[in-house]
């Protein structure tokens, strides 16, 4: 890994020099852009777009574009990009991941390449980690883009499809990775081209790129719908039953691999309770999966850590950000098992309708870049998965934060007591404190301890995430104590004394002013409010500086050192003073699950120290680091595994989505249907003939097979008489005759419905069949993946077996689509033609004409009778 990282960093110095030269060129235009009037600055966009339209490249206008954005931000926000911010912006334009430390102004950095990319007219997506941050950044930065004559959109969960279309039509669109990914999936489920909301995937800038492309990449995006059938009563039965079972006696659990399995005493207990002879008998084998889910729900999924219960529902908590994953549910009956465990309403199990991993979604973009403060440790994975290099961007000012060594306690109770003591002492002096926890339950536990001690504080977790911005923005004020679940990707800067931009923006928001709609009033009020906020914060900041800046406490090591560094990075922004320390215990998940606890516990036992006395030292720190390294390796393998299996599905998804887009976009699909019809006939004939002589072919059975798809006007006997007996019949002649017969039947149907009606029917049949078979295929692929690991027992590579089986299943699905399309066209066409004929007959009666059916209608009814497939 060290060698690989060394190779990846080769040429890093040369690239930084190039970025620095570019920043100097932008700064040289400072006086020129500053001399432009507001109107002239806005016209720069028109001029640069004309150059691009005339054949100029984005690189050739990059210096002028960056200079224009820098001046627009200075005029609207009072921010002028530092040289290092310009360097970061240009690295993003070049398709790099810019390692920009926390507090260095990444939100402003993103505007530079976003503006340049939007000059092409294709639209740029700026990806953030949550809806609030997307809205906040869009509201703030659209003032910059508006000053340059560009539009800004934002995608949030509550928007309708029509509203989403308008937001995607903007030059720059902000949103979360899940919103962008789900919109892509939904766009490939629409029934009309006009209903698509996205307009392509040109250039994306991903904020907190490691959180989105690394941490969140372990879980694919899924669009699900309720599966058919009632909710099984076994969920509640097993939830009650496993409460009586004991770990290690009735079942075993592997927390590292997140698996659980029944032991013999557990199987015996269940069989006795159910009155079953053999739980693994074919008649009851389906219960084993439900039972295993009940055990997993009990042992591996913890309330207020993995999920919360609110308003009578189980909501999943994002383990990387501590936020609620709105609308997300665990698959394969696991969510129902948790609902049964918690005693809330059990909702129907979901069936996957569309799915994609974040890795493969972001690979759709022509250009992809990102930024974060902790990317260097994941440089190898970024290169291997996405083909993107990491470039470390220097800080604007040297770091002054002091990172203290870890303190390790024997028990979790002793650790939290020590944390509370430390917070109380710091709070007494007025120093702001930020505390990071790993779960909702632990944040609330520490909150109760602080309340008992009379320490005023804010708790930020999945239960009150709507107050996130207000809490985080003021976490650097004097005397502030903030207890937060997972600070990774919170986005809002913690500024000593308070966040002045947030304060000014909040006041204007409360007044109901929009930066675009009420631009003049907003602009006139902004400068005054910002000046007031800065004056107030300046005095506070001086006191906080003297107290040592923001003090960050980590109450537990995460399973990734990078996330720990993100928490630490909240202190010491822009050269501010600061301090950080982690408090650990041997009962922490990382020590308990990955073996660090036993080693350290032995050291503490030999020392003879009590549980309230901490240990420090390089040996202990190395032990914890090894535990984290093991956890990181596990998570890396999980992500690789998810991607490997999804790569198989991605090729199939691309073919299906491409075919679906063609169905929506082409005006005449008759040639495709004709090809389907011919393939069906020739495939059926080939299967019927095989290697046997023509005299032995079962023609009546072949007629039954094809007759279930479309009506045949010729009988087997007529076919034989026409060619002069079975000895004169060949496979080609048989296929040609049946193909011609099918074409005639299709022609009769088209005459009955008319050209417009037939084209409409073909499109509807193709869409319905593709969607139906694709949903069924996804379900079968889920089932295949669930059990494919067992192939390893037979010394077979599960991935190779999965790819082979998946291809066979996909080929079978495609054949099923062909047959289903042709059959459904004839069935629906017969119904439509019959309805038209009956309507015409009724109309003739109502108009007072003769009761007998007119000739044209009679002919139509006759055609309908000949359209009925055999056995329909």
| Mean pLDDT for all residues in the chain | 84
Burial of 854 (0-12, 13-18, 19+ CB in 10 A): middle
Among 9-13, 134-138, 433-437, 521-525, which is the least confidently predicted range?
Answer: 9-13
Question: Do 393 and 87 touch, CB atoms closer than 8 A?
Answer: yes
Q: Name the residue among 146, 196, 189, 195 with its Cα closest to residue 171.
A: 146
Q: Say what the pLDDT of residue 605 is.
A: 62
Among 62-66, 97-101, 677-681, 865-869, which is the least confidently predicted range?
Answer: 865-869
Residue 843 CA to chain centroid, in angstroms?
A: 55
Query: Dihedral through CA 216, CA 219, CA 221, CA 227, nearest 10?
Result: -150
Q: Say what the pLDDT of residue 869 is.
A: 40
Overall average pLDDT of the 598-622 stretch: 67
Helical (H) or strand (E) element with 264: helix 264-274
> Which residue's entry shows tokens 């997972």?
486
Overall average pLDDT of the 92-99 stretch: 95
Q: 3-36: b or e for each residue (b if 16 or more CB lie within 10 Å)?
A: eeeeebbeeeeebbeebeebbeebbebeeebeeb
> Which residue's entry shows tokens 């501010």?
576
> Beta strand pairing status for 259-262 and 251-254?
antiparallel
Q: Say what the pLDDT of residue 327 is.
A: 66
For residue range 221-278, list pLDDT tens digits in order: 888 776 666 778 889 999 999 999 999 899 988 877 777 888 888 888 988 888 877 7
Q: Say what the pLDDT of residue 133 is.
A: 83
Residues 6+ apart with CB under 8 A from 498: 473, 474, 476, 477, 533, 536, 537, 540
Among 78-92, 257-271, 510-524, which range has the highest average pLDDT? Answer: 78-92
**Known binder of ligand: residue 363?**
no
**Known binder of ligand: residue 855?**
no
**Known binder of ligand: residue 493?**
yes
Give the three-state DSSP class for 219. Answer: coil
Helical (H) or strand (E) element with 591: helix 589-593
Q: Name the residue among 603, 587, 597, 602 with its Cα closest to residue 624.
A: 597
- At 566, the pLDDT band (50, 70, 90 cuts) reads confident
Instruction: Say whether 402-496+549-626 and 2-222+359-392 share the same fold.
Output: yes
Per-residue pLDDT for 469 more than 70?
no
For residue range 805-829, list pLDDT tens digits in order: 999 999 999 988 988 888 888 877 6
Overall average pLDDT of the 134-149 stretch: 92
**Known binder of ligand: residue 105?**
yes
> Beta strand pairing status for 390-392 and 433-437?
unpaired
CATH of domain 666-866: 1.10.3060.10
Q: What is the topology classification, in CATH, of domain 402-496+549-626?
A: Rossmann fold (3.40.50)
What class, spelled out in words, does domain 2-222+359-392 have in CATH?
Answer: alpha beta
Q: Which residues pair with 572 in a beta bridge?
A: none
CATH 3.90.1440.10 fits 232-348, yes or no: yes
Q: Say what the pLDDT of residue 552 is.
A: 95
Q: Say what the pLDDT of residue 492 is.
A: 62
What residues does each domain of the chain span? 2-222+359-392, 232-348, 402-496+549-626, 666-866
Q: DSSP letters along 174-192, please?
A: EEEHHHHHHHHHHHTS-SS
Residues 6+ apart with CB under 8 A from 205: 92, 110, 113, 114, 124, 125, 126, 127, 369, 370, 371
Say how many CA atoms lie within 13 Å of 699 toward its Cβ: 20
Among 19-33, 138-152, 432-446, which is the least confidently predicted range?
Answer: 432-446
The number of beta carbons lying within 10 Å of the beta carbon of residue 150 is 22
Per-residue pLDDT for 144 more than 80?
yes
Per-residue pLDDT for 462 more than 80?
no
């Amino acid at each position: 890994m060290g060698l690989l990282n060394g190779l990846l960093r080769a040429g890093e110095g040369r690239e930084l020099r190039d970025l620095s030269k570019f920043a100097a060129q932008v700064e040289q235009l400072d006086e020129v852009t500053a001399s432009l009037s507001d109107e002239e600055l806005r016209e720069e966009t028109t001029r640069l777009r004309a150059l691009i339209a005339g054949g100029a490249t984005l690189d050739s206008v990059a210096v002028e574009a960056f200079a224009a954005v820098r001046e627009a931000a200075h005029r609207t926000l009072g921010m002028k990009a530092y040289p290092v911010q310009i360097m970061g912006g240009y690295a993003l334009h070049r398709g790099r991941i810019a390692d920009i430390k926390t507090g260095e102004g990444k939100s402003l950095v993103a505007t530079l390449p976003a503006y340049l990319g939007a000059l092409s007219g294709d639209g740029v997506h700026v990806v953030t980690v949550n809806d609030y941050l997307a809205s906040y950044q869009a509201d703030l930065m659209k003032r910059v883009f508006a000053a340059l004559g560009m539009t800004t959109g934002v995608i949030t969960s509550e928007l309708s499809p029509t509203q989403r279309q308008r937001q995607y039509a903007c030059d720059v669109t902000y949103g979360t990775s899940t919103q962008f990914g789900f919109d892509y999936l939904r766009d490939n489920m629409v029934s009309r081209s006009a209903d698509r909301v996205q307009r392509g995937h040109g250039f994306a800038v991903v904020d907190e790129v490691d959180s989105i492309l690394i941490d969140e990449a372990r879980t694919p995006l899924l669009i699900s719908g309720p599966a058919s059938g009632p909710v099984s009563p076994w969920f509640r039965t097993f939830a009650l039953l496993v409460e009586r079972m004991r770990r290690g006696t009735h079942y075993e659990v592997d927390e590292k691999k997140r698996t659980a399995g029944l032991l013999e005493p557990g199987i015996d207990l269940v069989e006795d309770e159910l009155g079953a002879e053999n739980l693994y008998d074919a008649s009851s084998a389906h219960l084993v999966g439900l039972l295993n889910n009940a055990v997993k729900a009990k042992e591996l999924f913890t309330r207020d850590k993995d999920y919360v219960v609110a308003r009578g529902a189980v909501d999943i908590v994002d383990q990387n950000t501590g936020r609620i994953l709105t609308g997300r549910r665990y698959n394969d009956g696991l969510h129902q098992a948790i609902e049964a465990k918690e005693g809330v309403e059990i909702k129907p199990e979901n069936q996957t309708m569309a799915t994609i991993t974040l890795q493969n979604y972001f690979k759709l973009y022509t250009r992809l870049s990102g930024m974060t403060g902790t990317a260097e440790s994941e440089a190898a994975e970024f290169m291997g998965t996405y083909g993107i290099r990491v470039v470390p961007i220097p800080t604007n000012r040297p770091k002054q934060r002091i990172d203290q060594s870890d303190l390790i306690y024997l028990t979790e109770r002793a650790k939290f007591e020590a944390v509370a003591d430390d917070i109380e002492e710091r709070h007494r002096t007025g120093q702001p404190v930020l505390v990071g926890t790993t779960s909702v339950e632990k944040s609330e536990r520490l909150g109760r301890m602080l309340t008992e001690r009379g320490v005023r504080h804010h708790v930020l977790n999945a239960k009150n995430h709507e107050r996130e911005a207000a809490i985080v923005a003021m976490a650097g004020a004097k005397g502030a104590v903030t207890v937060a679940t997972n600070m990774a990707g919170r986005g809002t800067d913690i500024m000593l004394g308070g966040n002045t931009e947030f304060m000014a923006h909040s006041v204007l928001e409360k007044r109901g002013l929009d930066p675009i709609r009420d631009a003049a009033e907003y602009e006139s009020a902004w400068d005054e409010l910002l000046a007031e906020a800065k004056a107030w914060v300046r005095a506070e900041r001086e006191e906080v500086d003297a107290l040592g800046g923001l003090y960050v406490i980590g109450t537990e090591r995460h399973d990734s050192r990078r996330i720990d560094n993100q928490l630490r990075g909240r202190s010491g922004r822009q050269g501010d003073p600061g301090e950080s320390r982690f408090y650990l215990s041997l009962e922490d998940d990382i020590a308990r699950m990955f073996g660090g606890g036993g080693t350290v516990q032995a050291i503490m036992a030999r020392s003879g120290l009590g549980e309230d006395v901490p240990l420090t030292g390089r040996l202990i720190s190395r032990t914890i680091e090894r535990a984290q390294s093991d956890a990181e390796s596990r998570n890396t393998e999980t992500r690789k595994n998810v991607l490997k299996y999804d790569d198989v599905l991605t090729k199939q998804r691309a073919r299906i989505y491409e075919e679906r887009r063609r169905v929506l976009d082409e005006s005449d699909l008759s040639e495709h249907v004709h090809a389907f019809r011919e393939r069906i006939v020739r495939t059926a004939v080939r299967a019927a003939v095989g290697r046997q002589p023509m005299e032995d072919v079962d023609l009546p059975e072949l007629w039954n097979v094809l007759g279930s798809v479309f009506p045949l006007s010729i009988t087997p006997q007529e076919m034989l008489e026409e060619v002069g007996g079975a000895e004169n019949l060949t496979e080609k002649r048989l296929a040609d005759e049946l193909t011609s017969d099918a074409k005639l039947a299709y022609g009769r149907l088209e005459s009955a419905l008319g050209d417009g009606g037939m084209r409409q029917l073909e499109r509807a049949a193709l869409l319905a069949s593709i969607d139906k078979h694709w949903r069924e295929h996804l379900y079968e692929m889920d089932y295949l993946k669930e059990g494919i690991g067992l192939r390893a027992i037979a010394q077979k590579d599960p991935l190779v077996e999965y790819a082979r089986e998946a291809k066979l299943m996909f080929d079978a699905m495609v054949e099923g689509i062909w047959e289903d399309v042709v059959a459904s066209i004839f069935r629906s066409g017969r119904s439509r033609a019959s309805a038209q004929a009956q309507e015409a007959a009724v109309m003739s009666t109502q108009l007072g004409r003769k009761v007998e059916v007119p000739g044209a209608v009679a002919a139509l009814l006759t055609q309908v009778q000949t359209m009925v497939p055999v056995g329909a």
